[in-house]
Structure 1
């Protein structure tokens, strides 16, 4: 207690001395430098529960301000906001940035005041990720704008999940929404300890890319850079830097000698027990050898019978244990992967031609959770030829209900796939042919209006009222035609979606901005209710289009003073979103037709909005349900998987 009191008194004295020194130096200096930092990057810089901005970087900048006598304003913000503010000239510097060659093209860096390194964080149960190369085809969370992005951009198949800060990225890992997180080593350790995630998350591999950490300014801003270099040199020389470093990162503490003694004692006990166990095992082994030989002969006969069955089927079948080792593969499987005659058993599947005939992430999830993948497809290139492989992965369960490995069955369905695609194209063309009459009718109405106006122009052009009607109705009819054709193209053309994990409430914020004027114009009362941290794994643009199409129908169905209620909540492994209005409702006879292309009761509608929404929902593994009471309103319920 006495030592802590003396340390506290010394700290007060040091702060007072530096403050007075800085005040004296600032008398003749009226320069103000604006500096930004990450608002959630502990222990370097963060806003605590009381709203105080603190951390190692913050103390360093304040010490530089006192030492140089320059007025420095420190502004906390998200990392990518800080980068944007520096680019726009709204701030003069970022108080802590890791150096690399790509960043050097845009920023100038001060003298380093720390060596910073990155690390790979995975769940404690993870046994297959040990370095950056193992992140191939994995889902990895990373802070938006962080230097870790440069480490991951050349890894094949990696799926990056962007977050605002590193705690949010680690939160996704703790909830098993991602396979790994790559970020600052010290920050990750701080967040794990603060949230008591030590039993959930661990660091693997060596520190990555140890590099200098410094103040960054916009390229060419030598005046500001000189001030920071002068300040860093001064606080290192007078011992201030060392005190700040010890405050935030502490000192290495040597383990006492008693620890080593206890370790050696337990090691001796373990060795003694192991020796005794070895003797017992040796004796038992001799007794069991005869029984094993007898059982081996019986099993050998059974295995020969099973092998004949497996080699007579069309599919390739392989079994893989939890370590990724191929324990068996039938002859048809070797033929499909062009490995006939090779000995694949006992090898890791990544080092055999079997690699690439199924998604690695699917195998990992089967081994970890027991989940099944049925009728999955992927493309495999052989020179200029691309083949389509269909595969199924099932867990291999032992008698005590534990996962011992996985069974992978696979086949080449290239020709079957081509036949299916031809049938789909034929069916779509037939459907479009059947809709031709409806399309012609929809196009005919605006064309008739435009034609009528054009024919009257020679006779009525001098009529002011006529000209106003031309300028009012002709553009709107043209826009109507354009919307019809665009919607038709969206409906008919193929679309390959790109799925990602995103916050539902933030996406709704973007959509609601688009409708703000309509809400005001029609005096619509809005009631949004969302759970915090609600994420959906889907194509973000398609999801936004689904919401826009539904809300357009809701707004158009209500009179002045209507009410629109939007809610979002999680339910098990799904997210449920409900959008309800107090509009006119849908007649019972129309409810069965609302998802059909070109079905509409609107005077100027195309009938494609809900049809396209339905198509996008199904492409993202979701479900849509519409409930409506005529004269009272409509409720649309969407259900999407969390991951």
Structure 2
């Protein structure tokens, strides 16, 4: 009997030691340095503060993309442009996220690789045929932004009248209202503002580009190390395609450039001749080159998606670990009660038999929880298999339910439904959607998420519906875009990753909302699985 009790004690102590080590031994990462970013409060679409107080724009998204691929951390500080210009020199900020490069500025700042070429253009109404280029501006009324770089040049035109406006938005409105004959301003900014005003077809560009300058990130001349990090990040996002995606998102299709018919005909003629020559000389190697390019791009996209999913997973890891810790405390408490009573009940056979039965069961319970956690946390290649929809759904909910403090989850899913999906990726999708609903329901009085499933032919439609803050019709189409978020502290990656995962597993995802404060519905169409293959 004594020998049996000795081995039982030893087994319990070793089990407890193993569990505590596995639970509380976590890697420690060094905190990344946070770089302060100065930006213009009113320079759309490059950077601006919107009506809700969010700082957004091409420059903001570009630095977020650089942060993703380099690990750099940025703190955005929107301010007036004249303040942003001096903030780096005075040490109030580490970099300006976008500025035109000039010889005078190069004596103060170091400039990154070019983000794009900034230029100005002449804009007129589409029906205006009297202004075709710079020479036609004589005697005309021209709209300019106050302190515009082209003021001196335009003022030297014969009999010209300059109308100054506080912003390019007001100057564009002056053109649309017929207050001026033409507008001269930043090409991309006026293009963006025209789209915002639904006036993209009402105006056109005439003549050639003016004041073309390199547009780049600026840092103080004493900080070449920061410049190198930024250049490495710019090169990476240009190579992996993220830069192109952001450029299309913010600048889209340009306003038409109405050059003379002769110039158009001449350019088209040269283009056709050049294209024919190129086609004749390159036809033999085109197919092989295209295959190599597609292979490279495919690998780059796979690597980028892997990084995005890993980044998204880390955002929620601390919450999941808390859930696991909460679940493990219950079996640990049972084991602790038995071990505390053993010295007093060492001769109690019934007590020892109960301990020998209950302790292994509690250890198995902890082991199952750890396996479920590792299945989510451990990176691995996707393996699509037939899974029980209800079982895997409940398993994922269990991982996150500790953080669903004020939110009730109602599940109405047939236990006999099977789908084909990678089981760990399915957990990631469910966790993302639940935590997204949790944020949306933060201020709800009766926070509820309803999960339902319907059979539709060869598909199972899984629906997550909450009664949270919802989304406006203007914002809803952007929900699956990278870096798009309406949350104060959101990263804009979660829903993008969810869509990519579902696409990779042969499914489809859509989002519906009846408007702000009307809740959200997420529909996932998944391939039906065969129970015999599960």
Higher RCO (CA-CA < 8 Å; seq separation 6+): 2
TM exceeds 0.5?
Answer: no
Measured against the shorter chain, the TM-score band is 0.3 to 0.5
Task: Indicate the structure (1 or 2) with the bigger Cα radius of gyration.
Answer: 1
